[in-house]
Structures are given as C-alpha cells and as structure tokens.
C-alpha cells in the first residue's frame, strides 16, 4: 500500500500472514529490506485479509482511521531511513535505535532494543550475554538509568561493586563492554553528545579480563584421547572434544553447526559464529580433515551424508535459534561433564571445551609453527590478537622453566 525505495533500501506496508493472532487477525507491519535482509516493525494494527485488501480504496470511517495510523507508522520509518541513507550510516541496528529515539533516553530501553535485534538476527548467544549484563545492571542501578548518569566515576564504582560481589575481571569486562557498545550506537545516531561519552583514553578504560587458559601438552592430549572407562558416552564426548582440537580449536557452537557441505577436497571450511556478526571482514577458516577426524565422523557422524545434513546429528535444521542455542549448551555441558571424569582419573586439572582451542594454539606455538599460520587458522583478524592470545601460554612456560633453575634434587 505505502512504498519507498532509495539507495538499496526499500520500505513497504505488509500484512504479516506468517502467524495468526488469537483474535483471528493478522498484524500489519512495516517491512524494511536492505541487502536481502528483512526486518519488520509493528504498526500496532491488525485486520483480516478482506479488510487489508480493501484498505487502499475503503470508504469505511473505521478503516480510514486505521489506514491513517498505518501511514503515520510508515512515515516514521521512512523519515528514519531517509535520514540514515543521507548520512551514509544505514544499518538495522542504527535504524532500531533511531526509531526508538523517543524511548531510548534510558540505558535500559537501549539494552532491550539491542537484545531484540540480536535475537532477530539469530545471534542468540550474544543476546544472552546482553541479557545477563542488563539484569546485573538493573540490579545495581534500577530500571530507569539515564545516559547522563553514566559517568567515569559511576563506571568505576560499578566496576568496584562487581568486584566486591566476586565477579571476575573477565565478567566485569564483558558486562561493561556491552554498555560501551550501547553508548557507541546511541552516539552514532545522535542520541547523546560526545561530551557525554565516558569511555576511552583519559576517561574510563575497561579492565582486561585474563581468564585462566589451560593449555595441555601433547602427552596429556594423548592420555585423554586414549582414555576409556568402558562407557559409550565417555568415548563419544571425548571424541567430540578431540575433533574440536584437531579442527583448528573450533568451538562447540560452530562444531555442531558443521554440515557435510562444509567439507571440500579433504578440508573443512567454516566461519566463526562469534565474529560473524561483529567483524566487517568475514574470515573463512580452513582445517585439514585428518584421518583421525574422518574416523570420528564415521563412528559418531550422521550416516546420511547429504550435503544439507549436519555432520554430527545433534541439530535437525528445524530448531528455532533459541532451541538451537539450548541444544548446543546441553551438548557442551555433557562434554565438560565427561571431560571432568577423564581429568579426575588422569589427574589433569581443568579440562574443558575451551581447552581444545587453547591447546591447539599452544601446541603449534611450542612446535615452532609460524605465528601468521596460527593466527589465520584461529580466524583472528590480526597478528596482535594472536600474540595476546598466546601470551598466557608463554607465561605458563616461563613459570615451569623458572622452576628448573632451583630444581637441586639429584
């Protein structure tokens, strides 16, 4: 009914017939399409198909009033899109912020807008991080936090409060980075001024978390993959961990999403979900499909090797993003549970799904592999990231080697 198109962005009013309301009516929405991606914005109006088809030429006063309200919603979206296109700053996240301008004078609402956008785009894991950060923020400061109240001093007190409650610096860093992301987005759309921005050099600088990264030796890895307690479950989850290690330290989320179409010429090609939504450059990772990996696929993989099927049959392709996330979390917990059993038996502490990636990187480093190769195989965007990543392993080596200096036993 109402349409607009400019510079690759199209807007139109549609009746969303994908899901009927309890009233038996269908919602009327504003559809925005950009680079083949669609987003829908509610008008708050619902009607049946006959009314929708009659709406453009209706003489009914009731429908004319509804049409006017829909036009007002359309104009609001159109104005926001036009403004962003002219500024050369169009993205759906920025559009969501701009459309919520009347509401996003609080950090709370901005967080909820961000979470909704992440869920819509399928970034469920990231949305959970923001939900946790938002819950803790509201526990500390309430449900009506205005942007102007977030100052350098406020952030320092917030950091101290989290530290006093036993939060690790890794968690503190993650929660405050989410606040900074929100500030960056609202600043970009002009909802706050530069003087209100509290982050950066000479202002508040986010602490860097330094979580413990347990990197195993080759001998320890051999012990783990040779271990069995006679149960199929232990061997199953042990082998999935080993596959993760061999596949460039792939995380479990990406591992369970691998399909047979990801295999080409004895290599596995994939993108890291963790950085797919945050990095401008989409870096494809290539991992050699080793004989050991082929054996694991033969033993535990999907017997139907159709290109559209998942290699490991934990997902079925019909899961919603949230169902998919819960299933992946469940499998991750199971792997970690059995790794703890193995670790307790072998007296190897803190084996987990994270250990596979850390061990992959450190084994290559200790074996003399080129850091550029390690960086590329991990999917890092630059060498500096890889150097920082490996620094903790080098410290482990320094501590171990320093002990040799006073090992006076015969």
* Residue 47 within a domain: yes
* Residue 318 within a domain: yes
The answer to whether residues 278 and 367 belong to one domain is yes
Helical ranges in 165-197 per DSSP H = 169-188
* Residue 269 within a domain: yes
The answer to whether residues 144 and 239 belong to one domain is no
97-129 pLDDT, tens digit per residue, is: 777 644 456 898 889 888 887 887 777 778 888
pLDDT at residue 232, rounded to an integer? 96
3-state secondary structure of 196: helix
pLDDT at residue 102, rounded to an integer? 43
3-state secondary structure of 211: coil
Taking a C-beta distance cutoff of 8 angstroms, is the pair 238, 337 a contact? no
Taking a C-beta distance cutoff of 8 angstroms, is the pair 360, 249 a contact? yes
Question: Which residue in 119, 79, 120, 113 sits closest to 96, CA to CA?
Answer: 113
The answer to whether residues 351 and 229 belong to one domain is yes
* Residue 208 within a domain: no
| Total count of domains within the chain | 3
Largest CA distance in the chain: 101
pLDDT at residue 101, rounded to an integer? 47
DSSP string, 271-284: --HHHHTT-SS---
The answer to whether residues 278 and 390 belong to one domain is yes
* Residue labelled with tokens 């004895």: 266
The DSSP secondary-structure symbol of 249 reads: T
Question: Which residue in 108, 94, 85, 88 sits closest to 189, CA to CA?
Answer: 94
Give the C-alpha separation, 166 to 191, whole Å: 34
Which residue among 90, 119, 153 closes a domain?
A: 90
Give the C-alpha separation, 11 to 33, whole Å: 7
The answer to whether residues 271 and 364 belong to one domain is yes
Residue 358 belongs to domain with CATH number? 1.10.443.10
Which residue among 64, 90, 116 closes a domain?
A: 90
The answer to whether residues 178 and 227 belong to one domain is no
DSSP string, 5-63: EETTEEEEEEE-TTS--TTS-EEEEEEEEETTEEEEEEEEEEE-HHHHHHGGG---HHH
The answer to whether residues 17 and 150 belong to one domain is no
* Residue 321 within a domain: yes
Kind and range of the H or E element at 268?
Answer: strand 267-270
* Residue 139 within a domain: yes
Backbone angles phi, psi at 315, to 5 degrees: -110, 155
Taking a C-beta distance cutoff of 8 angstroms, is the pair 188, 162 a contact? no
The answer to whether residues 245 and 384 belong to one domain is yes
pLDDT at residue 103, rounded to an integer? 45
The answer to whether residues 41 and 115 belong to one domain is no
Residues of the chain whose pLDDT is less than 70? 100-105, 189, 209-213, 275-282, 388-389, 391-410
Give the C-alpha separation, 220 to 226, whole Å: 10
The answer to whether residues 239 and 347 belong to one domain is yes
Enclosing domain of residue 179:
104-196
The answer to whether residues 370 and 238 belong to one domain is yes
pLDDT at residue 192, rounded to an integer? 80
Residue 114 belongs to domain with CATH number? 1.10.150
The answer to whether residues 122 and 175 belong to one domain is yes
The DSSP secondary-structure symbol of 248 reads: T
* Residue 202 within a domain: no
């Amino acid at each position: 009914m109402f349409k607009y198109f400019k510079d690759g962005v199209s807007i139109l009013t549609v009746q969303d017939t994908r899901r009927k309301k309890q009233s038996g009516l269908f919602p009327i929405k504003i559809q925005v399409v950009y680079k083949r991606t669609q987003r829908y914005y509610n008008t708050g109006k619902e009607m049946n198909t006959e009314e929708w088809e009659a709406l453009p030429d209706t003489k009914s006063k009731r429908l004319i009033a509804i049409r006017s309200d829909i036009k007002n919603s359309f104009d609001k979206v159109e104005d926001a899109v036009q403004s962003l296109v002219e500024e050369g700053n169009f993205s759906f996240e920025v559009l969501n912020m701009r459309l919520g301008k009347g509401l996003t004078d609080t950090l709370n609402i901005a967080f909820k807008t961000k979470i909704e956008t992440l869920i819509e785009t399928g970034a469920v894991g990231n949305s959970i991080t923001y939900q946790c950060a938002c819950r803790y923020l509201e526990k500390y400061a309430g449900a009506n936090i205005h942007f102007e109240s977030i100052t350098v001093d406020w952030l320092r007190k917030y950091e101290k409060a989290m530290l006093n409650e036993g939060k690790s610096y890794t968690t503190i860093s993650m929660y405050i980075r989410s606040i900074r992301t929100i500030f960056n987005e609202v600043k970009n759309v002009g909802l706050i001024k530069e003087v209100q921005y509290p982050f950066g050099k000479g202002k508040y600088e986010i602490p860097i978390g330094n979580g413990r990264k347990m990197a195993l030796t080759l001998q320890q890895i051999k012990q783990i993959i040779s271990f069995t307690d006679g149960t199929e479950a232990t061997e199953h989850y042990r082998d999935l961990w080993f596959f993760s290690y061999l596949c460039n330290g792939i995380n479990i989320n990406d591992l369970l999403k691998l399909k047979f179409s990801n295999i080409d010429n004895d290599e596995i090609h994939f993108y890291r979900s963790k950085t797919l939504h945050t990095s401008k450059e989409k870096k494809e990772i290539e991992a050699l499909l080793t004989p050991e990996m082929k054996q694991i696929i033969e033993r535990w993989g999907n017997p139907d090797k159709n290109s559209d099927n998942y290699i490991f049959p934990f997902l079925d392709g019909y899961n919603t993003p949230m169902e998919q996330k819960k299933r992946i979390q469940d499998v991750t917990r199971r792997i970690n549970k059995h790794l703890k059993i193995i670790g307790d038996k072998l007296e190897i502490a803190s084996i987990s799904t994270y250990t596979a990636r850390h061990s992959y990187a450190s084994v290559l480093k200790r074996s003399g592999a080129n850091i550029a190769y390690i960086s590329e195989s991990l999917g890092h965007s630059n060498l500096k990231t890889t150097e920082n990543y490996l620094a903790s392993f080098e410290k482990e080596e320094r501590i171990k080697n320093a002990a040799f200096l006073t090992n006076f036993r015969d």
